[in-house]
Amino acid sequence: MSSWNLLGKCYEKIPLLGSADLWGDYPYRIRVDPRSAIGALPAARLRALVGEARQYSFDFLAWKRAFVLKKQWLVHAKRTCPRGHGALVKEVLGASQRRSFYCTQCQVLYADD
Q: Is residue 89 within 8 Å of residue 102, measured between CB atoms? A: yes
* Secondary structure class of 14 (helix, strand, coil): coil
- Stretch binding Zn ion (CB under 5 A), from 9-17, 31-39, 59-67, 80-88: 80-88
Q: Which of residues 60-79 bind Zn ion (CB under 5 A)?
A: none
88 binds Zn ion (CB under 5 A): no
Closer to Zn ion by CB, 17 or 81: give it: 81
106 binds Zn ion (CB under 5 A): yes
Identified binder of Zn ion from the candidate list 8, 85, 91, 109, rule CB under 5 A? 85
- What phi, psi does 90 have (nearest 5°)? -110, 125
Q: Is residue 52 within 8 Å of residue 26, measured between CB atoms? A: yes
